[in-house]
Amino acid sequence: MLVVAALGALLTVLVPVRASAQGQGVDGRLASRVDSATRATLAPVLDSARATGLPTEPLVEKALEGASKRAPGARIVAAVRALRGDLETARAALGTGSSAQEIVAGAGALRAGVDASHLQQLRADRPGRSLAIPLTVLGELIARGVPVDTAATVIASLERDGAADEDFVALRQSMGRHGGPFPLPAAAAAHARGAPASVGPPPGRALGRSHRKRKP
Amino acid sequence: MDVSDAELVEQVLGGDREAYASLVARYRDQLARYARRMLGNREDAEDALQDAFIRAFRSLDRCADRERFGAWLFRILVNRCRTAGKRGARDRQRFVHDAAALLDAAEEHPADRTAMREEIERALAELGAEQREAFLLKYGEELGYEEMAALTGVGVSALKMRVKRACERLRDLLEEEVESVRADG
Amino acid sequence: MSERTDDELVIERVAREVRSPVHLDAAFDARVMAAVRATRLPLRRRRVLAGMLRQRRVMLSPIGALALAAGFAGVVAASTLALYAPATKSVTPAARGAAGAVPATRRLIQFVLTAPSASRVALAGDFNGWSTTATLLRRAPGANVWSVSVPLAPGRHAYAFVVDDSVWVADPAAPRAPENDFGPPNSVVTVYGASL
C-alpha cells in the first residue's frame, strides 16, 4: 500500500555533502564567526582532512555550531578534532574507497554507539554497494530509542538478506507515519496523562457492554 | 468519560462527527492490541485499525445494538485483519516485515526486553492466520467461544480445534525457550 | 502453588504477551478523524437495500487518508502542543499545495515550539550554518506556538531552537543527537528523499 507507493516515488536518498568553499584553506564562512587564533588552529585540521580525502563540510559545520554557541576556541578545536577522528575511524572501517556520504553516515553511527566492527561487517557482507542509506537508517533507529545492539542486528540482517535501499527506507516508514513511533519523552508523558495503562474490565466483557465509567 | 457508546453513536448519527473521536479514543488501544498481534507489525495494524474505524463510521446506522458498539466494531476489525494479512504478504518482502516486527517488539518493551518476547513474535507469525486469530481471541481478548463464534462466523467446535492446534504449534515452536520461561516466572 | 506443566507455562507466557497493551498515539486519532471529516455522514434512516437508494461510497484509501491527515497535521499539532510537546512534523510538498516552490530534491520540514513567554525564537542547525538569526520562527496570533517550515536535503540534520537570542533549547519531541560537544544538546531530524 503505502510502501508500494513510496517505492515508486523514491529518488536519491543520500546523505548530503553540501558544496562548500573547498580548497580555500580555512573555510571562508569561518572567517566572520571564529576568532583568528582558533581559525589558525583549525586550519591544519581541515587541511589535512581535505588532503586525505575526508569530507570537510561536517567539520566546518561543527566549528560554526561552536561559534554560535559561544564556545571557547579550545573547545571548538577539540570538537572538530574529535569529529575528524570519527570520520577517520568510519573510513577505516568502511574502506578507503568509501564515498563521502558513507563516511559521514558511518561517523554518525559510531557517535550513536555502534561499534566500528559493525561497520566493517556491513561492508564485508555486501561489498561494492553504498551503505549510506543503511547507516543513516541505523543512526536514526538508535536516535529514536532502539537499543544499539537491536538496531545493529536488524540492519545487519537486512543487509545479509540482500535488502535494497528502498527496503531500508520501507523499514523506517514502517516505524510509524507520524515520524516517531518510539516513545519520545513528551509522547510518553502524553500517554501517562491520557491513555489507560490497564483497562478496568477485561476486554471480552468491555466489548459486550456500553461504557458507563472508564477507569483512567 | 461517562457517556455511553450508545449515546455517542446517537450523537454522530444526529450530525456530530466530532463525537466519533471519543469512540475512537475509547477503543483504539484495545483494538490495537489485537491487530498488532494478528498482523505482526505496527504499520499493518494501524492501517487495519484506521480502516475499521472508518468503515464503522460509514455504516454506523447499521449498528443494530448500539450498546454493543464495541463488539460490532471489533467484528469489523477482525475482518479487516483477515484482508490485511493477505495484502501485506504480497506487498512487502518477508525480511523487511520480520525486521519491522523485531523493531516493534523492542519498542514496545524497551525496558523489559527478553529473548522470549521476540521468540513469541516469531512463533505467532508461524501460526496460520486462522489459528492465530482463534488463539488471540481466546487468550488475548479472553472471549468465550460463543462470542468468538459470533465474531468470526466460525462454529464453536471448529474454533476449539483451531485454538488447540495453535497451542500445540506454539509449544512445539517455543519448547526450547521453556527453561527461560521458568526463569522469567 | 500447584504443579504446572511446561506446556501450560508456555501458553501462559504467550497469553501474557498477547494481552500486554499496545498503545497508539494521538496522531492516530487525528488521522482517523481527518478521514471521518472527509466522509459523508452515515444516514440515520434505515438504508434501502439494493438498487434504488444505492449511495456513492467515499472510498478513502489509506494513502488518501494519509494525505488528508498530513493536511490536518498542522492543526492537530497546534492543539495537542498546548498540552505537551513541540513536534517536528514532516509536511509533504503535495499537502502544502502549489504555493511555495520547494526544490524537488528537498522536503519541507516544519519545526514547531511551544514557548509562551518568548519574544523571539530562531532555528539553528547544520543546514543554515547554525545561524541564530537566519531562520526565525513565527508565532500565530494569540497563540503560544512558534513555527517555521524549512526545505531540507535528504539526510541527517542536527538543530536546536534559540529562544530570545540566548537560550538554546533542544526539541523535546525529537530524538537527541548523541554527541554533546558544546553544552546545550541538539536534536536530530532525518529526511528521506521525495518518498513519504
CB contact under 8 A, B12 and C42: yes
Query: Are A84 and A59 contacting, i.e. CB atoms less than 8 angstroms apart?
Result: yes
Question: What mean pLDDT comes out for the span A96-117?
Answer: 94
Q: What is the predicted pLDDT for the residue at C131? A: 95
Report the gap between the CA of C19 and the closest CA in chain A (Å). Answer: 9
Q: ipTM value, please give it.
A: 0.83
Buried b (16+ CB within 10 A) or exposed e, C120-151: bbbbbbbbbbbbbeebebebeeeeebbbbbbb
More confident residue, B31 or C191: B31
CB contact under 8 A, A147 and B106: yes
Q: What is the predicted pLDDT for the residue at A93? A: 96
Which chain A residues contact residue C183 at CB under 8 A? 69, 71
Give the Cα separation of C143 and C165 in Å (integer): 20
One-letter amino acid at C189 equals V
CB contact under 8 A, A2 and C175: no
CB contact under 8 A, B142 and A157: no
CB distance from C178 to chain B under 8 Å? Answer: no
CB distance from C9 to chain B under 8 Å? Answer: yes
Q: What is the pLDDT along chain C (196 residues), one digit of tens a residue?
A: 445 577 788 899 899 999 988 877 668 888 899 999 888 887 765 444 433 344 444 444 444 344 344 433 333 333 322 222 233 443 333 333 344 555 557 888 889 898 888 999 999 999 999 999 999 999 988 788 899 999 998 889 999 999 999 999 999 878 889 888 998 899 999 888 643 2
Q: What is the predicted pLDDT for the residue at A150? A: 85
Give the Cα separation of C173 and C84 in Å (integer): 9
CB contact under 8 A, C83 and A16: no
Q: What is the predicted pLDDT for the residue at C102? A: 57
**Closest of C93, C76, C87 to residue C151, by C-alpha:** C93
Backbone torsions φ then ψ of C109, nearest 5 degrees: -115, 130
CB contact under 8 A, A7 and C195: yes
CB contact under 8 A, A158 and B68: no
Give the Cα separation of C164 and C116 in Å (integer): 12
Neighbours of chain B (3+ CB pairs under 8 A): A, C
Give the Cα separation of A166 and A43 in Å (integer): 39
Q: What is the pTM of this model?
A: 0.55
More confident residue, A203 or A7: A7
Q: Is the pLDDT score of B141 beyond 70?
A: yes
* C-alpha grid cell, residue B82: 483477515
CB contact under 8 A, A204 and B87: no
**Closest of A155, A122, A165 to residue A13, by C-alpha:** A165
> Per-residue confidence at A181, pLDDT binned at 50, 70, 90?
very low
Measured between CB atoms, which of C21, C66, C154 is closest to A14?
C154
Which chain B residues contact residue A163 at CB under 8 A? 93, 95-96
Which chain A residues contact residue C66 at CB under 8 A? 2, 177
* CA C112 remoteness from chain centre: 10
Q: What is the predicted pLDDT for the residue at B183? A: 54
Q: Is the pLDDT score of A149 beyond 50?
A: yes
More confident residue, C34 or B84: C34
Report the gap between the CA of C55 and the closest CA in chain A (Å). Answer: 26
Q: Is the pLDDT score of B97 beyond 90?
A: no
Residues within 8 A of C (CB atoms), B 122-151 only = 123-124, 135-136, 139-140, 142
* C-alpha grid cell, residue B6: 450508545
Residues within 8 A of A (CB atoms), C 59-78 only = 61-63, 66
* C-alpha grid cell, residue C93: 510538498
Alpha-carbon dihedral C69, C71, C73, C79, rounded to 10 degrees: -120
More confident residue, A145 or B172: B172
Q: What is the predicted pLDDT for the residue at B90? A: 54
**Closest of A125, A48, A141 to residue A87, by C-alpha:** A48
> Per-residue confidence at B130, pLDDT binned at 50, 70, 90?
very high
Measured between CB atoms, which of B13, B46, B62 is closest to C28?
B46
CB distance from C183 to chain A under 8 Å? Answer: yes
Q: What is the predicted pLDDT for the residue at B84? A: 82
Cross-strand partners of C160: C124
More confident residue, C11 or B106: C11
Q: Is the pLDDT score of B163 beyond 80?
A: yes
3-state secondary structure of B164: helix
Condensed to tens digits (0 to 9), the pLDDT of residues A51-87 reads 999 999 999 999 999 999 999 999 999 999 999 999 9
Neighbours of chain C (3+ CB pairs under 8 A): A, B
